[in-house]
Amino acid sequence: MPAAGEIKQLTDEIIKLKQERNAIILSHVYQRPEVQEAADFVGDSLELSRKAAGTDADVIVFCGVHFMAESAFILSPQKIVLLPDEYAGCPMADMVTAEALRAKKAEVPEAVVVCYVNTSAEVKAQCDVACTSANAVKVVASLPKDRPIIFVPDQNLGAYVVSQTGREMIMWEGFCNTHHRLAADEVVAVKKSHPGALLLVHPECQPEVVAMADHVASTTGMLRYAGENSAMEYIVATEMGILHQFSKRYPHKMFYPASNKLVCPNMKATTLDKVLTALQTLEPRVTVPEEIRERALKCLERMLAVQ
């Protein structure tokens, strides 16, 4: 982490240039603390893209990973969308390609295809409806019961949805490298160290970890739950970047990581230096071809229409 003086200098330069560019800075909750502090909005990926679409900003700087910047462009094609680190990708999103999904769809042509938002625009364009970790159960529950479902790419989120809906699904064998590496015995150990703490688990974790949770939720759901619940201690089973938001919002409560291994290197690739350079150069830009954008947008809109 840079020194406090360097952080302030970079942040001041970013704020000045942001105003000159009429830019808005979005940060996922897994980003570095100083990047979160420089952002206009901090939150879940799709939530951030929707907020940006509702502003009059000309430029969106997305401090996240590639599929998130794509979603911002899908919703705001008239804006310049920047991803400060062009190599910040998502290994789980890379586990499903449009070509491989087309082949699976050909095997089960009658299936409804549901994609997690953690997918590329090309994959979304091949799908019927998207979902987030917050609404996946509701989306799947809304689908016709007489049609099979293909769920991509996260098998762990899919398993959680099955447990909540009872719907059988054809599961893609993808997973989040960060959440998937959290083992049940690690959680048992940290629970012994903090016996009074409630366990918050992201549904991208393996089923045996999810089964131990006091509450299963998306990142935004976790933050909301900690604010509404009277408990004073929490064990957090998701990427450690979120601990900054927990401490900032609820300084009177204690939050412990379920494991020190819960670090996503792709989320940590963005630095204040790169944010500043992106604003200076208006690069690297993320765009989506219009034909793909339109089809991916319909996939997202069908999700948003689910009540």
Domain ranges of the chain: 4-89+267-287, 93-176, 182-257
Give CA–CA dist 222/288, Å, rounded: 31
Give CA–CA dist 231/70, Å, rounded: 38
Question: Do the domains at 93-176 and 182-257 have one common CATH topology?
Answer: yes
**Residue 66 burial by Cβ neighbours in a 10 Å radius (0-12, 13-18, 19+):** buried
pLDDT given for residue 4 in this prediction: 84
The helix (run of H) or strand (run of E) holding residue 198 is: strand 198-201
CATH superfamily of 93-176: NadA-like (3.40.50.10800)
CATH architecture observed for domain 4-89+267-287: 3-Layer(aba) Sandwich (3.40)
pLDDT given for residue 136 in this prediction: 97
Which fold would CATH assign to domain 182-257? Rossmann fold (3.40.50)
Q: Which two tokens stand for residue 113?
A: 């295809």
Q: Mapping DSSP to helix (H, G, I), strand (E, B) and coil, where does residue 6 land? A: helix
Q: Mapping DSSP to helix (H, G, I), strand (E, B) and coil, where does residue 270 land? A: coil
Per-residue pLDDT 10s for the chain (307 aa) are 678 889 999 999 999 999 999 999 999 999 999 999 999 999 998 889 889 889 999 999 999 999 999 999 999 999 999 999 999 999 999 999 999 999 999 999 999 999 999 999 999 999 999 999 999 999 999 999 999 999 999 999 999 999 999 999 999 999 999 999 999 999 999 999 999 999 999 999 999 999 999 999 999 999 999 999 999 999 999 999 999 999 999 999 999 999 999 999 999 999 999 999 999 999 999 999 999 999 999 999 999 999 6
pLDDT given for residue 202 in this prediction: 98
Strand bridging mode 149-152 / 198-201:
unpaired
Q: 0.85 exceeded by the pTM? A: yes
Q: For residue 65, give the nearest of 95, 26, 33 by alpha carbon.
A: 26
pLDDT given for residue 2 in this prediction: 77
- Residue 197, C-beta contacts closer than 8 angstroms, at least 6 positions apart: 191, 231, 233, 234, 235, 254, 256
